[in-house]
Structure 1
Amino acid sequence: MTATTGNAPLLETETEIDAPPETVWALITDPRALGGLSDQVLRTHVVGTEPVGLGTRTVNINRRGPLVWPTRAKVVRFEPTTDYAFRIKDNATIWSFALAPTATGGTHVTHRREAPTGTTKVSKMLQAKVLGGIEEFDHEMVLGMGVTLQRLKALLETS
C-alpha cells in the first residue's frame, strides 16, 4: 500500500502473527535480530548501551545486489508492545512497526516507511541514478517489507 506524505509515498504492509504482542515486541526491538529478517539490512550494530529504548542509535549495513552501504538510525518512538520506530539519518525516513492485539491472542503488525518531510536530495539522486528509479525502489521496499513480516511470522509461529 502507498500514500503520499511529504513528497514521498507512505509505504505499508501488514500481517497477523499467532503470538502475543509482548513476544513480537521482544523480537522487533532487538536490532540485530530484526536486521537478519530484512532482505536489505544485513546487520545492525547498536551504538552505546543496551537495552534498546528511545534515543538508541544504530549503524546498519545494507545490501542490494552488489551494492553495500551503511545507514545511521535513531529510535524515535518506543511505546512498549504497541509502537517502535527509528529514523534513518541518511535519508530522513522513519521505519516503524505498530502492534495491536487480535481477538485470538495474536498480534496485528503494520510495518511502515514514512517520509513526513520527504527524503533527502542525496537519497533521491541515488534512488534515481543508482537504484533503478524512485518508483522502482519504493516498490522494491514494499516487497522487502512484506518479506520481513513473512520471516518474522515464520520465526515466531514455529518457536
Structure 2
Amino acid sequence: MTDTTAAPDELEASIEVSTSPAQTWALVSDLRRMREWSPQVLRTFIPGGPVRLGSRMINVNHRGALVWPTTAKVVRFEPHTSVAFRVAENRTIWSFTLEPTDGGGTRIVQRREVPDGISTLSNTLVGVAMGGVPTFVGELRQGMRQTLERIKAELER
C-alpha cells in the first residue's frame, strides 16, 4: 500500500491485488457497493440501472453521528481501466484506476483530484464540523487505505 500526495488538496493511495484487471473492474466499477469498502459511505443510490458514463449518484456519508448527503455524476467510465465521479457539493473527483502488473495482477489507484479547487462551502463546513482541513484530510487518507484494503480482501478471498 502506498500513499502519495500529488498536490496539497489531491490525494492518492494504491494497492496491488492478485486478480486481473477484468476481475478487479467487475468489483470497483460497481459504485453501489462503496459502503462495503469506504468507512465514510453509509449508502449509495444510483438510479437507472448499471453504472455508466453520466450516471447520477446520491451518497449518504457519515463521520460518527454526523450524517450528510452528496450528489455526484460519473465523469469517466473506461472498462477495465478507470471509473471516476465528480461530487457536486465540493467539486472533487474521486476515481479508481486499474493498472496491470507483471505478475498478472492489478494495481488499484484511488485518487481524489481537485481540478477546480474545493468549494468554499465545503471548506467552511469541514472547518466548522470536522476539525479543520488537515484533520479531515488525514481521515480521508486513512479511509482511502481502508477502502483499498477492503477491496483487496474481497477480491482475494
* CA–CA separation in structure 1 for the residues paired with 2:13 and 2:34: 16
> Any residues of structure 2 matched to 1:2-151 within 5 Å, and which?
2-4=5-7, 9-47=9-47, 49-151=48-150
* CA–CA separation in structure 1 for the residues paired with 2:6 and 2:50: 34
Q: CA deviation at 1:35?
A: 2.6
* CA–CA separation in structure 2 for the residues paired with 1:122 and 1:20: 40
Structure 2-normalised TM-score? Answer: 0.95
* CA–CA separation in structure 1 for the residues paired with 2:42 and 2:156: 23
User: Which stretches in structure 1 are left out of the alignment for 5+ residues?
Assistant: none
| 8 Å Cα contact 1:62/1:71 also seen in 2 | yes
| 8 Å Cα contact 1:36/1:43 also seen in 2 | no
Q: 3-state SS of the aligned residue for 1:19? A: coil
Q: CA deviation at 1:81?
A: 0.6
| 8 Å Cα contact 1:99/1:108 also seen in 2 | yes
Q: CA deviation at 1:3?
A: 2.9
The amino acid across from 1:139 in the alignment is G
Structure 1-normalised TM-score? Answer: 0.94
* CA–CA separation in structure 2 for the residues paired with 1:25 and 1:95: 16
Q: CA deviation at 1:28?
A: 1.1
* CA–CA separation in structure 2 for the residues paired with 1:89 and 1:16: 30
Q: 3-state SS of the aligned residue for 2:9? A: strand
* CA–CA separation in structure 1 for the residues paired with 2:25 and 2:154: 13
Q: 3-state SS of the aligned residue for 1:122? A: helix
User: Which stretches in structure 2 are left out of the alignment for 5+ residues?
Assistant: none
* CA–CA separation in structure 1 for the residues paired with 2:128 and 2:144: 22
